[in-house]
Amino acid sequence: MLVQINRILVPTDFSEPAKQAQEYAIALADRFGSELHLLHVVEEAVIPLPEASTSWTLPFGDQKQLIEASQKQLLEVIGPQWAERHRAVQVVKVGYAVEEIVKYAKDQEIDLIVIGTHGHTGFAHLLLGSIAEKVVRMATCPVLSVHPKDHPFVTVTATEQSALTATPAG
């Protein structure tokens, strides 16, 4: 069986678990020569009204500023050296994270989603839910969820890292 991964999606909230997932995704993109898609979703604040069929959607803070700040952060995620040698797409969407991630993956024909999970359990998990868990259930492509306490299989020594950044594109 030949495994070909042309497009990898990394949804990010810029948290530490998301950074760990990015490391996995970057390593996989290097290995398979894949296009790397970085996606950040700016959540909308929705206030339900007494009548169940209506609600108000209110931007959380200044939405335009949040989008611009997110776009800048996405540019910093992979670094200029990596971006120069690889195909990378950075996108900011507004909406509900799970829906936007799954929709983006389908629309862009993503082969693999690599997503970090915060590792909440018990009451915190019940209260906060898990975006990663919902993406795993709803996505139409494979999903690699990276738990913050998992044993990492991505290791890069300082020598390997400098060789990666010094290697010309080709």
What does the pLDDT look like over 99-136, one tens digit per residue? Answer: 999 999 999 999 999 998 875 555 544 444 588 889 99
Which residues are CB-neighbours of 138 under 8 A, at least 6 positions away? 98, 102
Please give the backbone phi and psi of residue 103, each rounded to the nearest 5 degrees, phi first.
-65, -45
CATH number of 32-47+54-162: 3.40.50.620
Tell me how far apart the alpha carbons of residues 18 and 116 are, in angstroms, rounded to a whole number: 5
Tell me how far apart the alpha carbons of residues 68 and 90 are, in angstroms, rounded to a whole number: 12
Q: What is the pLDDT of residue 61?
A: 56
What does the pLDDT look like over 19-78, one tens digit per residue? Answer: 889 989 999 998 999 999 999 999 876 655 566 555 555 555 577 888 888 888 888 888
Q: Which of 36, 12, 9, 7 is nearest to 116 (CA)?
A: 12
What is the pTM for the complete model shown?
A: 0.76
Q: What is the DSSP string of 64-79?
A: HHHHHHHHHHHHHHH-
The domain ranges of the chain are 32-47+54-162
